[in-house]
A and B are shown apart, each in its own frame.
Chain A
Amino acid sequence: MKWPHHISPVKTIEIPFNGPVIAVEHLCKSFGENVVLDDFNLTVAKEENVVVLGRSGAGKSVLIKCIIGLMKPDDGRILVFGENVVEIDHDELDHMRTKVGFLFQSNALYDSMTVRENLEFSLRRHWFRVSQAEIDALVMESLENVGLPHTAEMMPAELSGGMAKRIALARTMILKPEIILYDEPTTGLDPVTAREIDQLIVKLQKKYHASSIIISHDMNCVKNTADRVALLLDGKCYMHGTYDELEHSDDENVKQFFE
């Protein structure tokens, strides 16, 4: 479904952006004595899926929380569509966030709202002059995208883990973001559901031509979704390449993830 012509977001990008949609440069972040990111660099091209692979506690979630502006890095630059997230003001950050979706590891569905209200929440706040009929159509489109059109009136507590993940994905996608950040999308799911989520990520990424950073240590998820894999080790981007390149690497630090 295309957006009705009279619906427009708060602002629109007037100039097409041709560079990498995300460029992380010399990023540093510490918590007290614990250095999590230390001169980390990464770029994501348009319509590219980059999986950031690393051990638990390596700083993967910190990285994407810095990119979306939930955490402030100690040093370095994070360019999203060429704008430095670290330096922009709150209004510009809110505007940027309409183009960047974030799927939380815990799903973070608003538990006092129904599934429909969860999906409508972002729409109502960013897309003005939208009629109820148009909102309903967009909500149903999003739910059909994730294969759960019958759940609109359910509460988050009534959903299974896999269903909650799909609804969270539908909520993330409803504003049709150009970039999506996934925080461990398959953690805690059974292998079958995890594979379904992987397929959904790839399907929606292709449908909406989005770029993604996927944080994961689930090697099936990495294999199914990655155009490119970046290995986060000791706070740095230790190595990056395609899944096959990393799988056949002789480096001991890389091999341990593929064994």
Chain B
Amino acid sequence: MDFIAKIHDFFNETGAIARFAWNFFTEGLKPRFELKELLNQCYFIGYNSFPLVALTGFIMGLVLTMQLRPSLENYGVASELPMMVGIAIIREIGPVITALIFAGKIGSSIGAELGSMKVTEQIDAMEVAGTNPFKYLVATRVLATTLMLPILTVLGDAISLFGAYVGVNIRSVTSFHLFFTDVFHTLAYGDFVPAFIKTFFFGFAVGIIGCYKGYNSNKGTRGVGFSANSAVVLSSVLIFIIDLLAVQITDLLGLNI
């Protein structure tokens, strides 16, 4: 009985999230636009996340290179290291790891912020002040996450490749020019463009889930904690599901060569 109730809850919540996302397109994107708040959110969400994304990106590139080197040396293809690392970072690891870090930092922050606004009646206060809180709070945050994550991913990828360059130079000497010539020589638009496009969907998922969880938080301070936590968990799972779908689609389009 408990299992059936859980399945019922799952479909109920899935439907509610779909409705919430639909409202974003039908209600959130209608004028009057909250441009000032959108710019504020882009600053908080994008600019403030950059140090964390940069640090994790650098470490990721460095560690990936150090882990790959022994295996490639065993097969006598150590010279292929820049190519391997470049493709891994640009196609998959860069977008997914950046999105997961972003979900942890921004998804939880949005969930907690909107959740506490909900339980302290600030969202109601906004509504009685004649402001549409969905447009002011939700649409701006979802747009900001959707626009900022791709930019952060590009920057994160670049820093990650720099980390890989440092990793290569720990046990050998490769010039900066040679390393990046090797990386970009093997990369094609088919590696970069689908990976870039999917980050918009990752960003949208983080924003919509964070906002949905916060906006529907209603169990006091405990509910706020739950909102923040479940926003991270659910958006992380969604990132993997979207990634899986993106790979299938790029495969069907013949871009995974």
Whether B122 and A125, one on each chain, are in contact in the complex, defined by CB atoms closer than 8 angstroms, is no
Residue of B nearest to A113 (CB): B122
Whether A104 and B130, one on each chain, are in contact in the complex, defined by CB atoms closer than 8 angstroms, is no
B residues 186-225 in Cβ contact with A at 8 Å: none
A257 interfacial by beta-carbon distance below 8 Å = no
Q: How many residues of A contact B (CB 8 A)?
A: 23
Whether B128 and A125, one on each chain, are in contact in the complex, defined by CB atoms closer than 8 angstroms, is no
Whether B127 and A125, one on each chain, are in contact in the complex, defined by CB atoms closer than 8 angstroms, is no
Cβ–Cβ < 8 Å partners of B113 in chain A: 112
* Complex Cα gap A98–B129 (Å): 7
Q: How many residues of B contact A (CB 8 A)?
A: 15
Cβ–Cβ < 8 Å partners of B131 in chain A: 121-122, 125
Cβ–Cβ < 8 Å partners of B116 in chain A: 111
* Complex Cα gap A156–B122 (Å): 12
Whether A97 and B128, one on each chain, are in contact in the complex, defined by CB atoms closer than 8 angstroms, is yes
A residues 101-124 in Cβ contact with B at 8 Å: 101-102, 104-106, 108-112, 121-122
Q: How far is the CB of B219 from chain A (nearest CB, A)?
A: 16
Whether A68 and B129, one on each chain, are in contact in the complex, defined by CB atoms closer than 8 angstroms, is no
Whether A94 and B132, one on each chain, are in contact in the complex, defined by CB atoms closer than 8 angstroms, is yes
B residues 110-169 in Cβ contact with A at 8 Å: 113, 116-117, 120-122, 124-132
Whether A125 and B129, one on each chain, are in contact in the complex, defined by CB atoms closer than 8 angstroms, is yes
Whether B122 and A110, one on each chain, are in contact in the complex, defined by CB atoms closer than 8 angstroms, is yes
Cβ–Cβ < 8 Å partners of B129 in chain A: 97, 121-122, 125
Residue of B nearest to A93 (CB): B130
Identify B120's interface contact among A97, A102, A111, CB under 8 A. A111
* Complex Cα gap A201–B152 (Å): 51
Q: How far is the CB of B38 from chain A (nearest CB, A)?
A: 15
* Complex Cα gap A122–B136 (Å): 13
Whether A108 and B130, one on each chain, are in contact in the complex, defined by CB atoms closer than 8 angstroms, is no
Whether A104 and B121, one on each chain, are in contact in the complex, defined by CB atoms closer than 8 angstroms, is yes
Q: How far is the CB of B82 from chain A (nearest CB, A)?
A: 45
Cβ–Cβ < 8 Å partners of A105 in chain B: 121
Q: How far is the CB of B45 from chain A (nearest CB, A)?
A: 14
Q: How far is the CB of A13 from chain B (nearest CB, A)?
A: 15
